[in-house]
Amino acid sequence: MNNLQLITRNNASVMIQKRMKTGKRLHVILTTWKRDRKIEITQNGGNYQLNENGFKHFQASKLNQQKCISVLKERMNIEFPRSHQIYIAFK
């Protein structure tokens, strides 16, 4: 993965929301320091798809912006419970 940036877990949803509002095509990967768990968000037209691959495997598709952010926050609490900082990459 290229362009990994270390950020606080709470700041991840804010950064993704700002990127969603720009109107550019979105492809985001969130991962831990060990890179054994990840959450990936991709944009298909006006809808978003969220894939979780790590402790649990989860997939949600046809999400709008608000639902995508709420599902992301929920899945981050499950996937990164003790992580205060995570890596984020925008592709």
Q: Are strands 57-63 and 38-44 parallel, antiparallel or unpaired?
A: unpaired
Confidence tier at 48 by pLDDT (50, 70, 90): very high
Do 81 and 71 form a contact (C-beta atoms < 8 A)? no
Which token pair is 16? 């993704």
Token pair 């608000």 is at which residue? 66
- Whether the CB-CB separation of 40 and 1 falls below 8 Å is answered with no
| Tens digit of each residue's pLDDT (9 = 90 or more) over 7-45 | 999 999 999 999 999 888 999 999 998 889 999 999 988
CB 26 within 8 Å of CB 41 = yes
The pTM (predicted TM-score) of the whole model is 0.90
